[in-house]
Structure 1
């Protein structure tokens, strides 16, 4: 009883001192961050994304999380133009990340500007409050489904991907071939999310002539994007040996509905837009050293086919490495997510003729 009275007397005579001491201890509590859901360990690339989650302690209002995945170097996640993960009131954060061998989560102060890639992770200080690093999970990823089309073997995209510049869910049920052998790509809104479609060739082809015969794409709504392109998952830059045929109005009803591109698209001479009419269309690009020649035709580019548009790129043309042909259908920046109306594109055939070997 005497001890209790003595403690009470101390609080009575020194209430402000005790309060300041307690407040000081509380304000000096060190911020911390943890990763509680670790994605699979795998080679990096845009073809697959997985959830990552964790929690923070002693964070202040306005603090955010910055994520990195290691694939050779550390890459900012989930996208360079979406570098922050918000910390909700319950302190449990979550987001998507591309795959890597290791994952890092940084708790940062408001105004912190993360690098898009780094050889080494930032240390605590200069706006970084705490750092957590974990190796990827050893759980083996499921083997992606396959499909045959035009005499080639293709991989069907599943899970999450950002080929369209935003994270999208890809459903293997949205890519199939019909009795004629035509490839169908579908996107639809179900189970509370927008699901898209993508297939990729299982081998690299290199220099040569690529041809795609597409059923009427003029019906596609302004936000839909049908892409036929090359892409190298293992390339070390953001522009992964990519040349594109893209059929879209990019969300604006009065835009032209097609373009040929050598990435990066924002280069002054890297994009050429045109209008393609209704009906069956054929798109061709001839890839040669230092040159990419594109053509669009009505019909099947044989016999009575009529040329619609042609363009030749002679600068910034990539050289072959491990790129593969991809075809996808997605909704530009989720702009039609609320409509819930499905969309479908049909590719009748794909063919490739290798470039003649030099003597």
Structure 2
């Protein structure tokens, strides 16, 4: 015969507490899910443009089935997808009537993401994300007139190079770039020019259309000693997708006096440049020079020699080996540019030009 022991008042309270604890634990293990699929649409896009920090428009749209705390995240594509409108203000508010609107820098294509509270968007993307991991819905739309936007491409030294047509902030201030400032002549030499048109300074930049990785990079450059103090030639690898504000994935050969006529006119850099051990400055003499760097795991060797001939016996101008902070290959591309450093008090006489006779890569 089973004897039932009567539950005391304390026992009843204890059992009730245990039931409550179990219910809380169960609720924590099974997060509530949305019983609907939110949507987002774009109803207004600006014109298509290759982009730049000074060119902006408006992007607008609506959402359905959004919940309190949800936001919209915007991107514009110019090469890669860039977070809009600003990195320090990345969220667009959804109004009570489920519409949204915000400014955006111009691009070829525009995208809007509906995201959950607490979502942290990436500054740049190679491709738009799929739904999940805080992303509730994604949509994109090409800018008006995008079918007429065709980037300029040059064929130089056996490679295809995209010519920059927008603005960028290399050197700490905004410089504008004009595709007419980059061309290849009958000899196959690449010309980069900086000039003034209608009172506005324009620069030149080209970038390789694919990544090369570890190996030897060579640039044969005609005389750069004639350049004024603020003119800057950059020969470098850079990965936009993995770059942070300190540009720690960049290898540079830079020909410039940085606005100071008494300064040395060339340097090798493993970014970031503000670490003294990451910079090696030297004097590049007048005449044709070959600048190179051999990029290996944990090591990069920079070298400058006189003339264009390759092989042994070349007169060495400068050499530096770095073994600290050397990046690993990812999506980096080779860039060559000519720009004015910080629009100094002694700006470059215009027009000014630099000629790259040859680029060579050996794995």
> What TM-score, normalized by structure 1, do the two folds share?
0.64
Distance 1:49 1:171 in 2: 15
Counterpart of 2:155? 148
Residue in 2 that maps onto 1:344: 353
- Residue of structure 1 equivalent to 2:194: 187
Q: 2:166 matched to which residue of 1? A: 159
For residue 194 of structure 1, report the CA deviation from its aligned partner.
Answer: 0.4
Aligned position for 2:305: 297
- In structure 1, what is the equivalent of residue 255 of structure 2? 247
- Match of 1:173, SS state, is helix
- Counterpart CA distance in 1 for 2:309 and 2:163 is 28
1:178 maps to: 185
Tell me if the contact between 1:69 and 1:97 (Cα under 8 Å) persists in the aligned partners.
no
Q: For residues 256 and 157 of structure 1, what CA distance do their matches in structure 2 show?
A: 28
8 Å CA contact 2:249–2:327 kept in 1: the answer is yes
Residues 1:309 and 2:314 aligned together: no
Does structure 1 residue 216 correspond to structure 2 residue 220? Answer: no
SS of the residue aligned with 1:334? Answer: coil
| Greater mean deviation of Cα atoms: 172-181 or 140-149 | 140-149
TM-aligned CA distance change 1:289 to 1:98, over 3 Å: farther
Shift of the alpha carbon at 1:317? 0.7
| Cα gap change, 1:195 to 1:338, in 2 (>3 Å) | same
The alpha-carbon distance between structure 1 residues 273 and 233, as it changes in their structure 2 partners (threshold 3 A), is same
Q: Is contact 1:215–1:346 with CA below 8 Å preserved after alignment?
A: yes
The alpha-carbon deviation at position 287 of structure 1 amounts to 0.3
Aligned residue for 2:180, secondary structure, equals: helix
- Structure 2 counterparts to residues 68-147 of structure 1, below 5 A: 70=75, 74=83, 77=86, 97=105, 101=110, 119=121, 138-139=143-144, 140=146, 142-147=149-154
Contact between 1:232 and 1:240, CA under 8 Å: does it hold in 2? no
Instruction: Report the TM-score, using the length of structure 2 for normalisation.
Output: 0.64
Q: Structure 2: which 5+ runs fail to align?
A: 1-43, 59-72, 89-102, 113-119, 123-139
In structure 2, what is the Cα distance between the partners aligned to 1:241 and 1:347? 24
Q: Name the CA distance, whole Å, in 2 between partners of 1:348 and 1:332.
A: 24
Distance 1:76 1:269, change over 3 A: farther
Q: Deviations over 1:109-156 (max 9, x none)?
A: xxxxxxxxx659xxxxxxxxxxxxxx8863337121100111111111
How far 1:241 moved relative to its partner?
2.4
Q: Secondary structure at the match of 1:269?
A: helix
Give the aligned length: 265
Answer yes or no: is the 8 Å Cα contact 1:204–1:325 preserved in 2.
yes
Of 318, 322, 342, 1:333 maps to 342
**Cα–Cα, structure 1 residues 182 and 236, in superposed 2: closer, same or farther, change >3 Å?**
closer
Which residue, out of 248, 269, 275, partners 1:261? 269
Residues 278-303 of structure 1 deviation map (CA, whole Å, 9 limit, x = unaligned): 01011010000111110011112536
Contact 1:73 1:119 in 2 (8 A): no
State the superposition RMSD in angstroms: 3.6
